[in-house]
Each structure stands twice: as structure tokens, then as C-alpha cells.
């Protein structure tokens, strides 16, 4: 038998799949070796849930002394709990994209891009790796559920993890889009915070647009520009979906959030892929 015939080349699909797994594993391992990222993933929800949540909890209800009238059927701590999950996912997802700058800086990205792997596989491996770490950081917040008096069944936890995965994928893709346009570490840190913080603070994560009011009434009570920004912010619908699953309260419906996150995932990943192909 000819020696050449005995060498069996792997199927191209298996080559892409193996490369995808390798890139995903590299991103996950690198994140777990980064102690600063791990400490941030743990300390951030503790600060928000235990200190901010407990501190502002009494002010969320209309009256706390005498005859108490509950404005909404949940506490402030319960209200911000899904928002804290989204916050942990946001920071981890976007910051994980800094690995694109590292890889470009030290030549690793150039080596990967000249390998048999397609650019779509390279990008998908990096995004899935960053999204996996972000979901794990989001899941850390679930451990604090008892402090926020949030109870959920295993099925609700699985639904929440599915929503968290969608959100993490969309935000990691967004982070890669930013990393492709901002070439320095310092610029990436400043610009990503300039994106993360406005998105978070205008997503109704930490203050509610009064659910007892109609949309027309809401625009009378709150500044019109604020209501408009909140309603056009895609993160509003992601947090709302998590809130629907975890505390059974939703203003827009869980499927609205799923649809918005799917659209954002496709749009951001497509933009990131176009950037990768031009690199």
C-alpha cells in the first residue's frame, strides 16, 4: 500500500471543531488564571447586593413606618438582583475581549489567522470562551440569592442560565467589536467603561420606571428623554427577562428580551466577523 494513501487527513469540519475547542479552552483557562478577574467577579455582586441593595431597600417601599403600603410586590433587593447578574456578565464579557488586543500585540493572533482555521472559527472560539467565563461570573451572583430573599426552582435557574448565555454572547461580541477598533489597552479600558456604565444605568437595573404607571403616565412622571433612552436600551429587555424568570415580574415579557438578545448577538457577531476578515 502506498505510504501516502495510509496518511488519512482529518475531515475539514473536524479540523474546525478541534480548533474551536482549543481556542475556547484557552480563553477559559486564561480567565481562571487571572486572579484580578476572579476577585472582581466575586466582590462586585457582594458590593451591589449586600451593601447597595440592603442600604437602599427601605426606601423602595412607599412607607416603612406605620401602615405600610407596598408599591410593588417585591423588595428593592429582589428588584436589583437580576440587574446585578447582568452587571457581572457585562463587565466580564466586555473585558474578556481585551484578549484580542493581547493576542494582536504579541503576535498570537497573526499565527492563528494563518492556520487552517477559518476566521469565523477563530472569532467564535474567542467569543464562546469569553461568554462561558461571563456566564460563570453571572452564576456566582445566584449564590447570593438567599441574601436577597430570591427563591427559584432548578428549572428557573436553567432558564436564567440560558438568558445569561445569550446576553454574554452578545456582549462578548460587542467587546470584540470595540477591541478591533481600539488598539491600545488604555483606550480599550476607558472606552469600554464609557459603553458599559451608560448601558447599565439606563437599563432600569437599579431604579424602576414605576410599574404601576402606564407608558403615558410614565412620560409625565419621568423626563421624556430618560424614558426614551431606557426603552431603546437593549439591556433593558435582557434585565427584564431575567427579572421575569427570577422574581416573576416583567414589564415587556420574557420573549421580547430573548428576541432582542438574539438580534444583538447576530448583529454584533457579524460586525466583529467583518472586522476580523479585514484584519
Range name among 27-41, 52-66, 79-93, 140-154 with the lowest pLDDT average: 52-66
Q: Give residue 38's pLDDT.
A: 74
Which among 230, 256, 228 has a CA at the least distance from the CA of 242?
A: 256
Distance CA 21, CA 42 (A): 27
Is the pLDDT reported for residue 120 higher than 60?
yes
Query: What totals of helices (H) and strands (E) does the chain contain, helices first?
Result: 14, 0
Cβ neighbours for 90, distance < 8 A, ≥ 6 positions apart = 171, 196, 199, 200, 235
pLDDT band at 61 (very low <50, low <70, confident <90, very high): low
For 36-60, write each residue's pLDDT tens digit: 777 777 777 777 777 777 777 766 6
Q: Give residue 271's pLDDT.
A: 95
For 151-173, write each residue's pLDDT tens digit: 999 999 999 999 999 999 999 99
Q: Give residue 127's pLDDT.
A: 94
Distance CA 246, CA 220 (A): 30
Is the pLDDT reported for residue 146 higher than 80?
yes
For 176-208, write each residue's pLDDT tens digit: 999 888 878 778 878 777 888 888 888 888 776
Distance CA 46, CA 16 (A): 40
For 219-274, write each residue's pLDDT tens digit: 666 777 888 888 899 999 999 999 999 988 888 888 999 999 999 999 999 999 99
Is the pLDDT reported for residue 2 higher than 70?
no
Instruction: For residues 129-136, give the mean pLDDT.
Output: 94
Is the pLDDT reported for residue 71 higher than 60?
no
Evaluate whether 178 touches 80 at the Cβ level (below 8 Å). Answer: no
Considering the chain, what is the average pLDDT of its residues?
Answer: 83
Distance CA 245, CA 227 (A): 24
Length of the chain equals 279
**What's the predicted TM-score (pTM) here?**
0.85
Which among 41, 246, 231, 82 has a CA at the least distance from the CA of 167?
A: 82
Amino acid at each position: 500500500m502506498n505510504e501516502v494513501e495510509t496518511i488519512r487527513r482529518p475531515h475539514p469540519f473536524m479540523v474546525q471543531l478541534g480548533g474551536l475547542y482549543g481556542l475556547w479552552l484557552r480563553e477559559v483557562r486564561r480567565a481562571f488564571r487571572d486572579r484580578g478577574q476572579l476577585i472582581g467577579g466575586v466582590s462586585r455582586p457582594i458590593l451591589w447586593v449586600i451593601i447597595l441593595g440592603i442600604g437602599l431597600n427601605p426606601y423602595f417601599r412607599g412607607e416603612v413606618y406605620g401602615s405600610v403600603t407596598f408599591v410593588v410586590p417585591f423588595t428593592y433587593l429582589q428588584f436589583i438582583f437580576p440587574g446585578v447578574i447582568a452587571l457581572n456578565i457585562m463587565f466580564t464579557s466586555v473585558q474578556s475581549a481585551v484578549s484580542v488586543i493581547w493576542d494582536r500585540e504579541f503576535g498570537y493572533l497573526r499565527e492563528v489567522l494563518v492556520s487552517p482555521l477559518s476566521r469565523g472559527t477563530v472569532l467564535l472560539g474567542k467569543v464562546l470562551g469569553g461568554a462561558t467565563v461571563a456566564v460563570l461570573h453571572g452564576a456566582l451572583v445566584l449564590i447570593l440569592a438567599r441574601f436577597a430573599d430570591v427563591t427559584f426552582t432548578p428549572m428557573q435557574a436553567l432558564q436564567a442560565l440560558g438568558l445569561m448565555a445569550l446576553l454574554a454572547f452578545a456582549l462578548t461580541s460587542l467587546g470584540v467589536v470595540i477591541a478591533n477598533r481600539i488598539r491600545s489597552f488604555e483606550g480599550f479600558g476607558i472606552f469600554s467603561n464609557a459603553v458599559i456604565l451608560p448601558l447599565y444605568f439606563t437599563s432600569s437595573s437599579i431604579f424602576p420606571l414605576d410599574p404601576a404607571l402606564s407608558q403615558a403616565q410614565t412620560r409625565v412622571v419621568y423626563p421624556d428623554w430618560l424614558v426614551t433612552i431606557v426603552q431603546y436600551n437593549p439591556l433593558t429587555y435582557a434585565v427584564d427577562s431575567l427579572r421575569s424568570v427570577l422574581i416573576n415580574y416583567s414589564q415587556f415579557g420574557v420573549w421580547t428580551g430573548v428576541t432582542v438578545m438574539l438580534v444583538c448577538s447576530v448583529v454584533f457577531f457579524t460586525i466583529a466577523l467583518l472586522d476580523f476578515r479585514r484584519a
